[in-house]
Amino acid sequence: MLAFDSLLFRSLATISLLIAIVAALFFAEAIFLPVALALLIALVLHLPMVAAQRAGLPQTLSVILLISALGALTGLIAFLLFGPLREAVTSYPDLAGELKRKLLSLRQSFRAAEEAGDAISRVADDVKEIVKDPAVQEVVVKDPNFVATAANSVAEVVTGIVLTLTIAGFILATRRPFLTLATMPFKSTASKLHAARIWKAVEREVSYYYLVATTINVGLGIAVGLVLWGLGVPMPHVWGIAVALLNFIMFVGPAIGTISLLVTSILTFETPLEILAPPVAYLVINFIEANLVTPHFLGRRLKVAPLAIILSLVFWGWLWGFAGLIIAVPTLVILKAVADKTKALGSLRRFISPRASHSRPETPDPTPETVIHAPERSSP
């Protein structure tokens, strides 16, 4: 029989707890996903909230202005993207046929890729046969249920956005209870103060990181949009917005942008040079941003191991789909900010950021002697 204080019992209990937490997150996605996104938004808006209050605005008014501005920006982005996305969905059969024709013509210019071209052609033939099937076409294009399903999906997204922004507003307005919650597990005054310092440091680190990353991504979107406009790509403003948004998802976002831009170039242009120019230009600009601009402005905050990023993307993508991919990197940034300032999380810090493993936490944990004998010296 296992003893309650044995290492094996504690290990099994920890594993069981982790499985229970993952199961709860998976089956209660409708509850936890808006809360997670709202917490992320509240962390990102921490520094703007502080700036608004320093400017003399009341807390409630600051929250209303920030949440309203974020909601208006989200609505504007959705308005600009909805039309092109709807057109792409409704004209999918024509686009598939045109893509097949272009791919067949490109085979003459890429003899070395003959085998890959044959495979693509077979896939395109299958797609065309499916599109030509009257039954499939009736269901996908002509059935009114398709429109109803799309309308329901839009309504769910809008409801989710409103709910998330509302929760984020309450988190910003009631910051003190969350600070109390962060210090609740600790008994001594010194430990509570240390937990409070970690919470405040996480707020500053995450807010600064994503405000700078947002500024960089906006610049990336503008640069890519201007280049694509010069190359004659249709709707360059839409591509600029899409590139800026996709860049928040490391690795996966740029890959999706490159493939989508390549498909659009195949459908738009005729010559191989014209087709390759837009995705190559995007990759060049993204390479400069990822290797020069972002490390210059974010420095050590960007030192996250690629393996940790990939594992986080795989886990959260499996758990919550595309929404999980959005919060995968923020989760690592939060964990890194906590681990950098907590001595007990040294192993986690070395896994997330192995190149910075030699650095000590900025605020070490208090020793047992300090906690017991000197809580008065640590209290304000």
Q: Is the CB of residue 44 less than 8 Å from the CB of residue 206? A: yes
Q: Is the CB of residue 342 less than 8 Å from the CB of residue 365? A: yes
- From the centroid of its chain, how far is CA 169? 20
**What are the tokens at 218?**
């906006």
Q: Give dist(CA 45, CA 203) in Å, integer.
A: 9
Q: Is the CB of residue 199 less than 8 Å from the CB of residue 342? A: no
Would residue 56 count as lying in a domain? yes
CB neighbour list of residue 161: distance below 8 Å, 6 or more residues apart:
71, 74
Domain that residue 162 falls in: 31-173
Query: How far separated are the first and last CA of the chain, in Å rounded?
Result: 48
Q: Is the CB of residue 292 less than 8 Å from the CB of residue 223? A: no
How many domains is the chain built from? 1
Quickly count: other Cβ atoms within 10 Å of residue 205's Cβ: 20
DSSP 7-57: HHHHHHHHHHHHHHHHHHHHHTHHHHHHHHHHHHHHHHTHHHHHHHHHTT-
Would residue 102 count as lying in a domain? yes
Would residue 25 count as lying in a domain? no
pLDDT at 150: 54
pLDDT at 178: 63
Would residue 179 count as lying in a domain? no
Q: Give dist(CA 280, CA 262) in Å, integer.
A: 9
pLDDT at 365: 43
pLDDT at 114: 54
pLDDT at 364: 43
Would residue 166 count as lying in a domain? yes
CB neighbour list of residue 341: distance below 8 Å, 6 or more residues apart:
197, 198, 201, 361, 362, 363
Would residue 103 count as lying in a domain? yes
Helices 306-339 and 252-268, interaxial angle, to 10°?
140
Would residue 199 count as lying in a domain? no
Would residue 43 count as lying in a domain? yes
pLDDT at 370: 35
Q: Give dist(CA 170, CA 140) in Å, integer.
A: 41
pLDDT at 30: 86
Q: Give dist(CA 212, CA 208) in Å, integer.
A: 6
Q: Is the CB of residue 167 less than 8 Å from the CB of residue 34? A: yes
pTM of the full structure: 0.73
Residue owning tokens 């004998």: 373
| Averaged pLDDT, groups of 10, the chain, 380 residues long | 66 86 89 89 88 89 92 90 78 72 66 53 56 48 49 74 89 72 70 79 84 92 94 91 91 90 87 89 93 80 79 90 87 83 79 61 41 40
